[in-house]
Structure 1
Amino acid sequence: MVASQDYTISAETMSPTEKIDPKSHKFPFCVVWTPLPLISYIIPIIGHTGICTSKGVIRDFAGPYHVSEDDMAFGWPTKYAKLNPNLATRGVQGWDDAVHEASEIYKYRTHNLFCDNCHSHVAKALNLMNYNGRNDWTMVKVAILMTFSSKYVGLSGFLKQWIPFFILVSLLVTFVYLLS
């Protein structure tokens, strides 16, 4: 059974109701995102992702042979996309098993910025849980999810994503204006 934005899990799934709590960095059943230094300043929709367990523990592919647990490589999440655990095969247990299995797989992988990265780790977890009946998740689909279906953790999340970009654009416009 689903209630409003926070999912109330039925007795069959054997998990208590978990709520998103940005202050304690807990995002149950979410894909989370944070800006990448320098890259996100130039292209604000590019960032670092992780996927959270039913308890809100963040798992992110932080670099070669390393999957972090509740210690995101580039800072705490600034936005998140809440997903429905009932759309995972075997519900909450299937969700947690898939996040764990994807993390175990990525502990033995090298990191490649363009081909096998944090978005790929999240896509692997979504594929393993057969989220929403699909097993065709890719890093591009994860990026689209985070661009169009995510929420900021608050004003601070929005500012962390967009202020560096606006400063760079302002400097560029000022520089071009001074040269002309």
Structure 2
Amino acid sequence: MGICTSTGVIRDFAGPYFVSEDNMAFGKPAKYWKLDPARVYASGPNAWDTAVHDASEEYKHRMHNLCCDNCHSHVALALNLMRYNNTSWNMVTLCFFCLLYGKYVSAGAFVKTWLPFGLLLGIILTVSLVLHLR
């Protein structure tokens, strides 16, 4: 998960002590959620970019933790710094809203996102059914 500056540059907490620019850790985005800059409650004409910059600078000094302090946390900090929608952001709220409001960049991106899960689920169900029928 990354967050764009006002010029469209994606910032992504891609690994320990590293925030990438336009080179996301897991490849090109498959899904996006377009946010409304009018919902930024922080002051100043460049509040959006300042918040994204400050969050990125903070995360350049952090160890990446897959479960607790990751790219989702980086985006949540940026949204909290800009007071986006006057909401308290965290990994859970971001996940919920991205699932609800996010749009896939293409049909291929949808397939790329859900095919591995579908295959794994199919294998589990098949093995479960075979074991049950024995």
TM over 0.5: yes
When residues 177 and 120 of structure 1 are mapped into structure 2, their CA distance, relative to the original with a 3 A threshold, is same
Query: What does 1:97-112 correspond to in 2, within 5 Å?
Result: 97-112=50-65
2:49 is matched with: 96
Amino acid at match of 1:130: R
Residue 126 (1) aligns with residue 79 (2)? yes
Q: CA RMSD in A?
A: 1.5
Give per-residue Cα distances to partners, 1:139-167, cap 9 Å, x unaligned: 11111111111111110111011111111
Amino acid at match of 1:128: L
Give per-residue Cα distances to partners, 1:104-144, cap 9 Å, x unaligned: 1100001112221111100100011111233x211111111
Query: What does 1:156-167 correspond to in 2, within 5 Å?
Result: 156-167=108-119
When residues 125 and 149 of structure 1 are mapped into structure 2, their CA distance, relative to the original with a 3 A threshold, is same
Residue 99 of structure 2: SS of its match in structure 1? helix
Distance in 2, matches of 1:124 and 1:101, equals 9
Residue 52 (1) aligns with residue 52 (2)? no
Distance in 2, matches of 1:167 and 1:98, equals 40
Residue 160 of structure 1: SS of its match in structure 2? helix
Distance in 2, matches of 1:91 and 1:146, equals 27
Deviation at 1:63, TM superposition (A): 1.1
Greater RCO, 1 or 2 (C-alpha within 8 Å, sep 6+): 2
When residues 55 and 140 of structure 1 are mapped into structure 2, their CA distance, relative to the original with a 3 A threshold, is same
Deviation at 1:90, TM superposition (A): 4.2
Amino acid at match of 1:163: L
1:150 is matched with: 102
Residue 63 of structure 2: SS of its match in structure 1? coil
Residue 75 (1) aligns with residue 8 (2)? no
Distance in 2, matches of 1:122 and 1:84, equals 15
Query: What does 1:12-31 correspond to in 2, within 5 Å?
Result: none
Distance in 2, matches of 1:154 and 1:164, equals 17
Structure 2 length normalisation: TM-score?
0.90
Distance in 1, matches of 2:68 and 2:80, equals 17
Q: Percent identity?
A: 56
1:116 is matched with: 69
1:12 is matched with: none
User: Number of matched residues?
Assistant: 131
2:36 is matched with: 84
Distance in 1, matches of 2:109 and 2:78, equals 25
Gapped regions of structure 2 (runs ≥ 5): none
